[in-house]
Amino acid sequence: MAKCPVCETEYTPNEVETCSVCGYDLTPYPPVIGGIPSGFLEKEKKRIAAAKRVWQLSQSQVESAQLMVSHLQSQLDETTRKIDGFTTTQSRLESQIEAIASQLQSQNEAIASQSQSRLESQIEAIASQLQSQSSQIEAIASQLQSQNEAIASQSQSRLESQIEAIASQLQSQSSQIEAIASQLQSQNEAIASQLESITEAVADTPIVSYSGFDYSQLNRLLKSGQWKAADEKTAKMMCRVAGKTHDGYLNYDDIKNFPCEDLRIIDGLWVKHSRGRFGFSVQKQIYINCGGKPDGSYPKGDDILERYADQVGWRVGRSWILKSDCTFAAIAPCGHLPFWPWLYEWYQVGHSLKSVGVHLFSRAQTCLL
């Protein structure tokens, strides 16, 4: 596992192109002959550092917004508690009214046994008392209603103002992030342009392996998009490196002993000029995704290689294609080129493609492709 240089989110190299959290471009740089210039590496570090600062700033601002929302929620909870308190007070008053009514009922029953005049005076006194209490209750109810409306209005107005302020702040931050993203995009394009200039400046530099084989012509063919000619050149170069110029194909021993440096150079040129669509390492990864194992083993009775061939476009309708049926263009399926089946005893041995092809993937794994 590797970590995103900006947000440190873990990811599996060569399986994702961008970070799932911050969106940073995780596409690995293709190998450059002689190594990447130190000036370019320094600029890349600065660009990553700037992106990391932007990421940290945005996270800090999001946390601040969350704290502000939490504070508003606490204020809302406090207002709710106050309203509940007023409701409890109103319930208590209703209980008191019920108690007074009960008391009045008892008094009425006692008054029934008294004289008429005494009853009238007591009734008048009670009525006066009830009227006074009723006025008090109405005043309390009116006061509670006014307080509830004032609290609701104040809370609503405050919440709306705070929410508008937060929304305005987030909008401003979003504009700043977009401006920074635009600036980073411009920097990426400038760096890509510089890298392309550097690549063009060294385009004519010979690409020679330790074994003495020159891959400059293969580099020129791939760079100019001459895919068919590059495919044929790849076959010839691999046969030359393996010392099989007369046989025209490679067997298991040829692949097992094929020099890693030469295999890395050939693969690196294909991957670089196809922008990651073609090459032995791309084919090996597709084979693994289909369920194959790069250690050379092959599940008995399984159809992994057939599924692989269907995915890269080497089989159509359960029939294996010939070289003349290949799509020598950048729009071909990923892993379609180089078309190596015809190199390895394709016509002579038939199904030996299965074992020899797996050994090619095993060699690619050994050579760290």
Higher pLDDT, 180 or 114: 114
- pLDDT of the residue at 284: 92
- pLDDT of the residue at 116: 65
- pLDDT of the residue at 105: 84
- Cβ-contact 313, 332 below 8 angstroms: yes
Q: Where are the beta strands (DSSP E) in 231-316?
A: 315-316
Q: Give every CB contact of residue 89 below 8 A, 6+ residues apart in sequence.
A: 144
What is the identity of the amino acid at 362?
Answer: S
DSSP symbol at 360 = H
Q: What confidence tens digit (pLDDT) does each residue in 17-63 have?
A: 788 888 888 877 666 666 677 787 788 888 888 888 888 888 888 88
Average pLDDT of span 315-322: 89
Q: Which of 13-22, 73-82, 237-246, 317-326 has the lowest mean pLDDT?
A: 13-22
Q: Give every CB contact of residue 244 below 8 A, 6+ residues apart in sequence.
A: 250, 254
The percent of residues above 90 in pLDDT, for the chain, comes to: 22
Q: What is the rounded CA–CA span in Å between residue 113 and residue 289?
A: 102
- pLDDT of the residue at 353: 52
- pLDDT of the residue at 223: 96
Other CB atoms within a 10 A radius of the CB of residue 336 amount to 23
- pLDDT > 50? residue 345: no
Q: What is the rounded CA–CA span in Å between residue 69 and residue 150?
A: 22
pLDDT, averaged across the chain? 79
At CA 43, angle to CA 38 and CA 46, rounded to 5?
130
- pLDDT of the residue at 280: 94
Q: What confidence tens digit (pLDDT) does each residue in 280-316 have?
A: 999 999 999 988 887 766 665 568 888 889 999 999 9
Going by pLDDT thresholds of 50, 70 and 90, the confidence category of residue 351 is very low
- pLDDT of the residue at 181: 52
Q: What is the rounded CA–CA span in Å between residue 136 and residue 142?
A: 10
- Cβ-contact 239, 344 below 8 angstroms: no
pTM of this structure: 0.46
Average pLDDT of span 133-146: 76
Q: What confidence tens digit (pLDDT) does each residue in 177-226 have?
A: 576 557 646 654 654 454 454 344 434 567 999 889 999 999 999 999 99
- pLDDT > 80? residue 92: yes
Average pLDDT of span 122-132: 77
